[in-house]
Structure 1
Amino acid sequence: MTNLNQILPSDGVLKTNSSSTNVVNIRSAPAVKDGNVIHQGKSGDRVKIIDKQKPSGDTRTWYKVQFSTQAKDVGWVREDVISVVASQPAPDKNPSETDTLVYFVTDTKTVRVYGKGQAYINVYDNKTEVTNRAPAAKLPKNETNQLWTTYIASKDGYTYQVRFIPGADTELTIIHENKVILQQKGFRADGTEYRPK
């Protein structure tokens, strides 16, 4: 039996158990009969797992998940509609919290800047579960940009820009062939450079 403390908190990716829909029901309680549908997620949505239990008489495990940024955005999904994943998947071992300079999620990505000496940017696609990892450089602040801390990395013709105001805003920009193809604000941010001193 798995010790609950060994897997929590962790992330999950919703998945459908139906061939006719990509909708995943998130319920008010860990039961199909007694748990009203309080939210409908989509297959590929990333959620934060905050608890799990196997209700008496049920053969399946249920996961309590936070599906949005508000504390009240919490519900239950059954084990057949969620994949438990590491908090930050990476092609090699995950960096420690002390090595993480900034971490946040956007609507479609999970972003981490980490490293001692050489910084790296990991951009994880929450739907395809593919991580792009590249060495990063910290840009110097200038007179017009005193608030934002910016890291930039390039890989396979893409430029990844991660910027943040410590304790406040976070943002990911992806550029390909001199065109911005993605720009998203972040939430659930943390990290040694992000936390206000």
Structure 2
Amino acid sequence: MKGFILKLQRAKDEDMIVTILNQERVAKYYRFYGARHSILQMGYLIDYEEEQEKANFLPRLRSVSHIGFPWLYDRERLMLWHQFISIFDRHFRDVESIDDFYFKRLLRSASRWEKQSPKRLIIETFVSILKYEGRLQIPNHCVICNTKIEDECAFLKGFLPAHPHCSKESGFNKETILELFEELSAISLSDAAVDRLYLIALKGF
């Protein structure tokens, strides 16, 4: 099966506990001498097999091969990918079974990471996941004062909408945000807006 490595934890000696998001679940695996293998890196897409152990122990990770992307050799893009992946690790910390939607969105992003703006891809993916989970709030009312938002909206963690003066955050053009939410495309956003939305996304879902 295929999956993205969300997290690596050192176990005893050089063994590793590897958290992987695949098409069905987010699971932890045990890899003997995992610290010796450069193929095990946060954010990597791998093909692997699992070997079930006793019921009270983690399954073993076996026959691992790396599925690479050209942008892995671009230091800045790789750093942004690590930041992106860390959002998913936090989001699924207490979750096991998931829909294949999440794996497909990660794979879609990874496939476009080299030729498109990573920050715009992060924003688009973040919004699409909020929409899929039914948590994307159209910026019509402020979550702080519960009154109508007119021309400019600011965002709290999870893209919760608020007035700039209520949240003490800089605002965004509401029409541009509505286009992002409806089209799931960040193409109309300015670079400055992208930088700010990206930082909000990094706070998590």
Structure (1 or 2) with the greater helix fraction? 2
Output the TM-score relative to the length of structure 2. 0.28
Output the TM-score relative to the length of structure 1. 0.29
